[in-house]
Structure 1
């Protein structure tokens, strides 16, 4: 199986490294200093549970040089989705499946419109990892799990083969019969987690220990869950409490990638997280006061410094 990683950040770099270390044929798409460092020194995963040091991998900044592959894992930032879809076209053959492991709920639709529904599947990544330095991915905690499946359900032998590759690589994974709901469940968590850790500039340990901020986090999750139900997604009534339970199990130092981006003065995924909750809430008649407050407070930072 040939696998391409489109976006060698925290998600793509970590899971791609696991696949490559297991002997899978993996090519990483990475640019600039990060790509140069990987080419020169290999890919390093700084992780308490899944360390990899200087793994020699195939890396390029030009997807056209790769040729058709079996699986493309897309892990670029949300604002790069349309551009990534065009750039990865040379890697898409008749039987290629492109799996989006991006945040938010809209990337899959963008990729399907650009590449054709028959080539695109949905995915969810549960991990806290960022680029710590060129060529180095740093993970916080030990959680590292991916979920993927065909949009609309149904069996797909390409995804079954990818699941076998994940199994061989020791990647915790689930081939889901309902990836649409799984994406929304992740969105309920991430939209709230990103919103509150970015707005407060504090890690989850401080937030969950404060009575007011813990309630604020739950309220944010409840709003997104309400929007999901209004869209017809089968989100369980206790989903917001599940978000709190998940937050309680995270290492105290964990923050969302958007909080890290805000601290670095980088561009934010805010329009596709709280911004999407606010927009859909307005369309569906669902109040979203917490996400609106976050959107208004951070929108002037969304473009980065």
Structure 2
């Protein structure tokens, strides 16, 4: 199976590297700066699950000719999605599977509009990675989960073939029969965690220590889940209580990636996470004042810092 990984960054580089390590046919679609890095240093992965070094690997740049791939792994930020769609279009065929790992849900509509309902799978990942000074991928926690599946939940011939390609790696690739629910659950959790930590400019510990801080966590969960349920999202019963408990159990100094991006004065996914929810809330005539405050906070940051 021919696999195209869009980007060789912290997520694509890690999971693409694990597939290469197993012996799969992997090509990375990269920009010029990253290509130069890879040509100089190779793809280097420092991981608690074992380091990897690939002095040479297959790369292409947007516009270069290549046959259609069997599957394209997409792990870009939401604000790069439009460009990524243009970049990968020449490398898709009628049977190419698009497997996105973006957080949220809005990207699914964009991808199905671009490539067709049948060609887009569901996917998500749980991993802590970053890039080092020379572009090395640094993976630091025990969790390195890659979850994928047909959005219908079916075990089709093609998804079983993909499962076979992903099996036997030193990362936790898992086929889900309920990927849409898992994607919505992660969206709910990430929106809550990133929302409150960015609003309070604090790790989660000091926020939940405060009565009104913990109440804010619960209120974001309530507002977001109400919107999602009115959209007929397949949320499990009691998911709000389960996620409050998960947040209570998180490390005291845990920050969201959105908060870390703000601290570095980098671009953020305000519209993808919170703008999407607020647009849906308006259509559904639902109030979401805390989510509105989170979104306003992020838009002020964008205006003043970017």
Q: Is the shorter-chain TM-score for this pair beyond 0.5, marking a shared fold?
A: yes
- 1:55 corresponding residue in structure 2: 54
Cα separation, 1, equivalents of 2:146 and 2:26: 17
- 1:293 corresponding residue in structure 2: 293
Q: TM-score, normalising length from structure 1?
A: 0.90
Equivalenced residue count is 304
- 2:137 corresponding residue in structure 1: 137
Give ranges in structure 1 of 5+ residues lacking alignment.
none
The list of structure 1 runs, each at least 4 consecutive aligned residues, that deviate by more than 6 angstroms after superposition, is none
Cα separation, 1, equivalents of 2:274 and 2:214: 18
- 2:171 corresponding residue in structure 1: 171
> How far did residue 107 of structure 1 move?
0.9
Q: TM-score, normalising length from structure 2?
A: 0.89
- 1:84 corresponding residue in structure 2: 84
Q: Residues 61-80 of structure 1 correspond to what in structure 2 (within 5 A)? A: 61-62=61-62, 64-80=64-80
Deviations 1:251-276 (A, max 9, x none): 44442222222112111101111222
Q: Give the number of the structure whose alpha-carbon radius of gyration is greater.
A: 2
Instruction: Check whether the contact 1:269–1:302 (CA below 8 A) recurs between aligned residues.
Output: no
Give ranges in structure 2 of 5+ residues lacking alignment.
none
> How far did residue 187 of structure 1 move?
0.5
Cα separation, 1, equivalents of 2:66 and 2:236: 43
- 2:117 corresponding residue in structure 1: 117
Deviations 1:59-81 (A, max 9, x none): 33336444321110011111222
Cα separation, 2, equivalents of 1:217 and 1:141: 25
Q: Residues 226-305 of structure 1 correspond to what in structure 2 (within 5 A)? A: 226-302=226-302, 305=306
> How far did residue 170 of structure 1 move?
2.9
- 1:11 corresponding residue in structure 2: 11
> How far did residue 250 of structure 1 move?
4.3
Does the C-alpha gap of structure 1 residues 18 and 291 become closer, same or farther in structure 2, counting only changes over 3 Å? Answer: same
Cα separation, 2, equivalents of 1:54 and 1:210: 45
